[in-house]
Amino acid sequence: MSAAADGWIRRFATDPNSVLERQLCMAGTYLVSQLLFLVPGVSATDLQPVVIGAVLMAAATVAALLMRGPSVPNRFAMIIPLVDIVSVGLLRAGTGGAASIFTALLVLPIISLGVEPGRLPLIVGLPVTVAVVLLPLRYDPTALDGADWLRVFFTPFVLGLTALSVNELTRRLRSRVRAVQRLRRELEELLGQVQDQAAANAATSTLLRETTAQLRSIIDAVTEQAIVGTDPGGRVDVFNAGAQKMFKVAAHDVLGRPLLGALQSRDDIDAGELAAAMDRARAGAAQMSEWTYVQADGSALRLRVAISARHDAAGDIEGFLFVVTDVTHDHEQARMKDEFVNLISHELRTPLSSILGYAELIVDDDEHPLSDEQRRFMAIVERNAQRLLRLVSDLLFTAQVESGRFTVQEQDVDLHAVVRASVEAATPAAHGRDVRLVLSEPDRPLVVRGDAGRLGQAVDNLISNAIKFTQPQGRVAVGLSAITGPGNDADEPDRAVVSVSDTGIGIPADELDRLFSRFFRASTATAHAVPGVGLGLTITRAIAAAHHGQIRVASTVGEGTTFALDLPLPAQQDPNQTLAWRQPAATASASVQK
Q: How many CB atoms lie within 10 A of CB 194?
A: 10
CB of 264 to other proteins, least distance (A): 35
Q: Which is nearer to other proteins, 71 or 409 (CB)?
A: 409
DSSP character for 570?
P
Q: Which is nearer to other proteins, 386 or 526 (CB)?
A: 386
Count residues binding other proteins (CB under 8 A).
23
Please tell me the chain's helix, strand, coil percentages from 3-state DSSP, rounded to the nearest 5: 55, 15, 30
403 sits near other proteins (criterion: CB under 8 A): no
Query: Where does this chain touch other proteins (CB under 8 A) — which range of 6-14, 199-207, 229-237, 343-351?
Result: 343-351
Instruction: Supply angle C-alpha 494, 562, 539, rounded to 5.
Output: 75
Query: Where does this chain touch other proteins (CB under 8 A) — which range of 259-267, 350-358, 527-535, 561-569?
Result: 350-358
Among 224, 297, 316, 364, binds other proteins (CB under 8 A): 364
- Classify 95 as helix, strand or coil: coil
354 sits near other proteins (criterion: CB under 8 A): yes
**Looking only at residues 483 through 542 of this chain, which bind other proteins when binding is defined by CB under 8 A?**
none
Q: Which is nearer to other proteins, 345 or 484 (CB)?
A: 345
Q: What is the helix (H) or strand (E) element at residue 89, kind and residue range?
A: helix 79-94
Closest C-alpha among 29, 140, 149, 166 to residue 84: 29
Q: Which is nearer to other proteins, 389 or 512 (CB)?
A: 389
Distance, CA of 106 to CA of 85 (rounded, Å) = 6
Distance, CA of 420 to CA of 103 (rounded, Å) = 140
Instruction: Show the site string, 56-95: x = touches other proteins by CB under 8 A, - = not.
Output: ----------------------------------------
CB of 545 to other proteins, least distance (A): 18
360 sits near other proteins (criterion: CB under 8 A): yes
353 sits near other proteins (criterion: CB under 8 A): yes
Q: Roughly what angle, to the nearest 10 degrees, separates helices 47-66 and 19-33?
A: 150
- Phi, psi dihedral angles at 83 (to 5 degrees): -65, -40
Q: Which is nearer to other proteins, 195 or 342 (CB)?
A: 342
Q: Roughly what angle, to the nearest 10 degrees, separates helices 107-115 and 19-33?
A: 180
CB of 480 to other proteins, least distance (A): 27
Among 36, 164, 327, 356, binds other proteins (CB under 8 A): 356
CB of 392 to other proteins, least distance (A): 9
Among 396, 446, 447, 505, binds other proteins (CB under 8 A): 396
Q: Which is nearer to other proteins, 388 or 438 (CB)?
A: 388
Q: Which is nearer to other proteins, 401 or 446 (CB)?
A: 401
DSSP letters spanning 316-380: -EEEEEEEEEE-HHHHHHHHHHHHHHHHHHHHHHHHHHHHHHHHHHHHT-SSSPPPHHHHHHHHH
Q: How far is CA 420 from CA 65, 227, 462, 478, 481, in A?
A: 124, 56, 13, 9, 13
342 sits near other proteins (criterion: CB under 8 A): yes
575 sits near other proteins (criterion: CB under 8 A): no
Closest C-alpha among 261, 254, 222 to residue 238: 254
Q: How far is CA 247 from CA 224, 229, 233, 357, 459, in A?
A: 11, 14, 21, 55, 50
Among 20, 219, 378, 389, binds other proteins (CB under 8 A): 389
Q: Which is nearer to other proteins, 332 or 360 (CB)?
A: 360
CB 532 within 8 A of CB 468: yes
Q: Which is nearer to other proteins, 397 or 563 (CB)?
A: 397
Among 346, 376, 528, 594, binds other proteins (CB under 8 A): 346
Among positive and negative, which fits the CA dihedral 200, 203, 205, 211?
Answer: negative
Q: Which is nearer to other proteins, 354 or 471 (CB)?
A: 354
339 sits near other proteins (criterion: CB under 8 A): no
Instruction: Show the site string, 407-446: x = touches other proteins by CB under 8 A, - = not.
Output: x-x-------------------------------------
400 sits near other proteins (criterion: CB under 8 A): yes
Q: Which is nearer to other proteins, 400 or 440 (CB)?
A: 400
Among positive and negative, which fits the CA dihedral 444, 445, 448, 451?
Answer: positive
- Phi, psi dihedral angles at 388 (to 5 degrees): -65, -40
Query: Where does this chain touch other proteins (CB under 8 A) — which range of 39-47, 100-108, 226-234, 346-354?
Result: 346-354
Residues found in the chain: 594
Among 162, 345, 427, 440, binds other proteins (CB under 8 A): 345
Q: Which is nearer to other proteins, 8 or 340 (CB)?
A: 340
**Looking only at residues 263 through 282 of this chain, which bind other proteins when binding is defined by CB under 8 A?**
none
CB of 378 to other proteins, least distance (A): 14
Distance, CA of 208 to CA of 200 (rounded, Å) = 12
Among 3, 39, 147, 361, binds other proteins (CB under 8 A): 361
352 sits near other proteins (criterion: CB under 8 A): yes
CB 87 within 8 A of CB 131: no
Q: How far is CA 6 from CA 9, 11, 155, 201, 528, in A?
A: 5, 9, 42, 28, 100
Cβ neighbours of residue 86 closer than 8 Å, sequence gap 6 or more: 53, 56, 128, 132
Q: Which is nearer to other proteins, 344 or 483 (CB)?
A: 344
Q: Which is nearer to other proteins, 364 or 373 (CB)?
A: 364
Distance, CA of 150 to CA of 402 (rounded, Å) = 126
CB of 514 to other proteins, least distance (A): 28
Distance, CA of 131 to CA of 128 (rounded, Å) = 5
Among 162, 308, 328, 393, binds other proteins (CB under 8 A): 393
Closest C-alpha among 115, 138, 110 to residue 126: 110
Binding site for other proteins (CB under 8 A): 342, 345-347, 349-350, 352-358, 360-361, 364, 389, 393, 396, 400, 405, 407, 409
